Chain A
Amino acid sequence: MKNTLISKTIKGVSLAIATSALSLSAMAADIKPAVVYSDAGKFDKSFSEAVWNNGVKRFMDETGIEVKEAEPTNLAQVEQYLKRLAKRGHSPIVAVGFSQTNAVLAAAQEYPDTQFTLLDGWAPEPNVQNVGFKEHEGSFLVGVLAAMKSESGVLGFVGGMDIPLISAFGCGYEQGAKYQNADIKVIQNMTGSTPAAFGNPSKGAELTRSQMESGADVIFAAAGGTGTGVYQAAADAGKYAIGVDSNQNHLHPGTMLTSMVKRVGEATYLSYTSAMEDNWQAGPVTLGLAEGGVDWALDEHNRPLITSQMEARVNDIKAKIIAGDIVVHDYRTDNACTY
């Protein structure tokens, strides 16, 4: 009896200490940001790595505020990580990739006071900021470049998982290629129908070989980790490949024509800084060419491959898209590639 009373008192006291410590730390550092990377890993040379390089790392370097990072190794862990981070008072929490959508929904309902930023997904909750990108616009630009570079008149596209988001890449790419050269042929393949399709370089390489055998000489991959197999196969055969999400030109200099850059890192950075300035807002945010959310990459690695004529042409088209003179069809609006 006495024992239980003592233990209860101890519990009460420690709880009080814990709460005061919590509120103290909350005041000392304005926000406690966190990020949950995709299950392809933090250094996937693509999506997650862009979030780390241009978002998380930049924010930590500039503000000195620590961002708590979680690296799930499979999808089942994502929801646990999100809830655990929310429980420990982290906010905003950036969730990387559409595959975390359901986990974000569940976590956002359980922790309505926590701010969640979901990149590339759609979770309609009052405390979730859904960041979307106009991938079709960026893909249009690399499609133009591919069509200008191709000698065979056949292009390839390797997608990851068969979902509308990935089809939007392929559709934009095809539109850009056809805009440049109406007679061009675009072979499109999807790697699979589960998230595992974003981490299967063997299959990516085989799909690429099969496309090259059908004549493709520029291959665009929107397939996460599967892309490394695509770029390798293209490099082995001396054909060109186009990277995705982050600037992947450095992977195989000489055969990486360009990369369709999605500025997920900037979106992450913006989410943190806006939360710091107290103007973080829930709801949809869409970043296109005009907002600098998507772009094509030009650096020292692909400089020799891009002629001044190509550069002028693609920048001209970019200006036209921003001005609204060219409207790129988004596959996701009607689930069809009609243009």
Chain B
Amino acid sequence: MSEVTTLNDMWMTILLTLDATIRLSTPLVLAAMAGLFSERSGVVDIGLEGKMLAACFASASVAHFTGSPWLALLVAVFISLCLALVHGFATITHKGDQIVSGVALNILVSGLTIILGLTWFRQGGQTPSLSGDGRFFSIDLPGAELMQNVPLIGSLYKELLSGHNILVYAAFALVPVVWWVLFHTRFGLRLRAVGENPKAVDTAGISVNGLRYRAVMIGGVLCGIAGTYIAIAHNAQFTRDMTAGAGYIALAALIFGKWRPVTVLMACLLFGFLQAFAMRIEGVQLPVVGVIPVQIIEAVPYLLTVILLAGFIGKAIPPKAIGKPYVKER
């Protein structure tokens, strides 16, 4: 009997860790898909972080004033889209350095959100915490309560699959869509071509700049959704620099996954799992080693990244024309 309970406990612990993995991976998946479009078209997007942060602030502010999460999502996507267009204007129209433009966006947003937060809300750069209807709440999938008595599958369905908010489901549903768009549509073919050999695309009479703008704009929209998730679905307010490096981790996942939607998704889930696992292992008395210090726990995701990058994933080859502005021969 007691063995059954321990087994059950272990099963629940695994499920709940995976559940947290899904919550923590969602912004990574959205941001990585944003980066995927942009980088596949040949535009490096190091400004994922900044666009997400701006969307966090916009959505938390709008949700506070209007109480409508959908309106907040709309405004956040719009703001993020505007920033993406600034990036496009600097790097596509004016052939500016893509890294410089992206970093500039990140710094601008990090400072601007704090300043605006200080003047509008007077809470040290935070927005007021949201209560009630201003947030996206978790959805219980049909039959979750009924299913819970079915062994294994029931708890899997109830704890892991059910009970997330709509943005989580949207993020994971997005991945096959991205795959289909990228590899099975004319737009996707041209998008990939423009990232590999823009000259060939140009010779075929297709606008390189137009394609890249479209890719960067899709990235902006996805970052807007990611930021909204962080601020008003996972949390209930904006706090300074709350994206906490998620944009950079998404970029790392992009390299990990070799710029392919499904493998990128796997990389995002791995990073999310490492974060979730670290939180559960911390402070727990383990056999033999005892309590692992928080400092080591904190270092684990980074250590693993280095090890995996060094030996296990093989060579990651980026799109050929990435980072190079396209100049027509005169």
- Which residues of chain A have a CB within 8 Å of any CB of chain B? 40-45, 48, 71, 73, 162, 187-190, 192-193, 199-203, 205-207, 209-210, 213, 225, 228-229, 232, 251
Contacts and interface: CB of A to CB of B under 8 A. Distances in A.
Interface stretch (B91-99, B201-209, B230-238): B230-238
Contacts of A199: 239-241
Contacts of B24: 206
26 contacts: A41-B124, A41-B125, A41-B240, A44-B126, A45-B123, A73-B125, A162-B293, A189-B279, A190-B283, A192-B298, A193-B294, A193-B295, A200-B244, A201-B237, A202-B234, A205-B234, A206-B20, A206-B23, A206-B275, A207-B279, A213-B16, A228-B239, A232-B129, A232-B236, A232-B237, A251-B129
A193 B234 CA distance: 23
Contacts of A229: 235
Contacts of A189: 279, 282-283
A202 B23 CA distance: 11
B122 interface: yes
A44 B235 contact: no
A189 B240 CA distance: 23
Contacts of B293: 162
Nearest to B242: A202
Contact of B298 (A41, A48, A193): A193
Quick one: which of A43, A44, A210, A251 has the most chain B CB within 10 A?
A210
Q: How large is the interface on B (under 10, 10 to 19, 20 to 34, 35 or more residues)?
A: 20 to 34
Contacts of A190: 282-283, 294
A202 B235 contact: yes
B315 interface: no
Contacts of A205: 234-235
B276 interface: yes
B280 to A, nearest CB: 5
Contact of B242 (A41, A193, A201, A251): A201
A225 B239 contact: yes
Contacts of A193: 294-295, 298
Contacts of A203: 279
Interface in B269-311: 275-276, 279-280, 282-283, 293-295, 298
A40 B124 contact: yes
Given A71-B124, A187-B283, A206-B20, 13 more contacts: A41-B123, A41-B240, A44-B126, A190-B282, A193-B294, A201-B239, A201-B242, A206-B24, A206-B276, A210-B20, A210-B279, A213-B12, A232-B236
Nearest to A209: B20
Contact of A42 (B124, B236, B279): B124
A17 to B, nearest CB: 36
A73 B110 CA distance: 11
A207 B126 CA distance: 21
Contacts of A45: 123
Contacts of A192: 294, 298
B114 interface: yes
A268 B232 CA distance: 36
A43 B123 CA distance: 4
A157 B39 CA distance: 43
Ranked 8 nearest A-B pairs via Cβ: A41-B124, A43-B124, A43-B123, A190-B294, A193-B295, A189-B283, A162-B294, A213-B16
